[in-house]
């Protein structure tokens, strides 16, 4: 599994489109991104090339124009990115940070119910308190 930590914000935009479409030509990516950003075509091509170098995308060169395929799943990318971000946080603050996310995200009723049962399950074995480890040697 690739290291996704180094997927930048701009690269995420490109990947989202290709994940959603399943596969895509540069033209398809450019069409979408010219609507949602101010980027020039050349910029978007550069991003695609960098994503190939990082092995997040692979071009099927048997077809012309090339068709780009994701080499990482969206779930893996999301998993790694959000957890990587959370590694920055004081572990004592993670609960509240999740609360912040819940408040600021649109979530479907179904997902909310799933989260509630997950939490109910987790509560059973949850610690009474979580200690700050910001000054500890535990990296």
Partner DNA sequence: AATTTTCGATTACAGTTGTAAACTATGTTT
Partner DNA sequence: AAACATAGTTTACAACTGTAATCGAAAATT
Binding residues for its own copies, rule: CB under 8 A, are 9, 12-13, 16-17, 19-21, 32, 35-37, 74-75, 78-79, 81-83, 85-86, 88-91, 93-116, 118-120, 122-123, 126-130, 132, 134-139
Q: Considering only residues 50, 58, 81, 93, which one is a binding residue for DNA as defined by CB under 7 A? A: 50
Binding residues for DNA restricted to 101-120, rule: CB under 7 A: none
Comparing CB distances to DNA, the nearer of 9 and 36 is 9
Report which secondary-structure segment, H or E, holds 20: helix 9-21
* Dist CA 70 CA 68 (whole Å): 7
3-state secondary structure (DSSP) of residue 67: strand
Residue 71: name its binding partner from its own copies, DNA, none (Cβ under 5 to 8 Å by kind).
none
In the complex, least distance from residue 62 CB atom to its own copies, rounded to whole angstroms: 26
DSSP classification of residue 35: H
Binding residues for DNA restricted to 59-78, rule: CB under 7 A: 59, 64-66
Residue written as tokens 């050349």? 42
Residues 6+ apart with CB under 8 A from 14: 29, 33, 44, 47, 48, 51
Does position 39 interact with DNA (CB under 7 A)? The reply is yes
Distance from chain centroid for Cα 3: 12
Residues 6+ apart with CB under 8 A from 96: none
Size of the site for DNA (CB under 7 A): 23
Does position 11 interact with DNA (CB under 7 A)? The reply is yes
Report which secondary-structure segment, H or E, holds 95: helix 94-104
Which chain residues interact with DNA by CB under 7 A?
6, 8-11, 25-27, 38-40, 42-43, 45-47, 49-50, 54, 59, 64-66
């Amino acid at each position: 599994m690739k290291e996704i930590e180094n997927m930048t914000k701009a690269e995420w935009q490109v990947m989202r489109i290709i994940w959603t479409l399943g596969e895509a030509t540069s033209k398809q990516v450019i069409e979408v991104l010219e609507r949602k950003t101010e980027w020039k075509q050349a910029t978007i091509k550069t991003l695609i090339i960098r994503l190939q170098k990082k092995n997040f995308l692979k071009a099927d060169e048997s077809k012309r124009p090339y068709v780009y395929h994701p080499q990482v799943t969206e779930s893996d990318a999301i998993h790694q990115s959000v957890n990587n971000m959370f590694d920055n946080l004081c572990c004592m603050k993670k609960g509240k940070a999740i609360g912040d996310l819940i408040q600021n995200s649109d979530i479907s009723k179904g997902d909310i119910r799933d989260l509630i049962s997950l939490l109910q399950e987790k509560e059973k074995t949850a610690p009474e308190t979580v200690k700050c480890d910001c000054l500890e040697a535990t990296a």
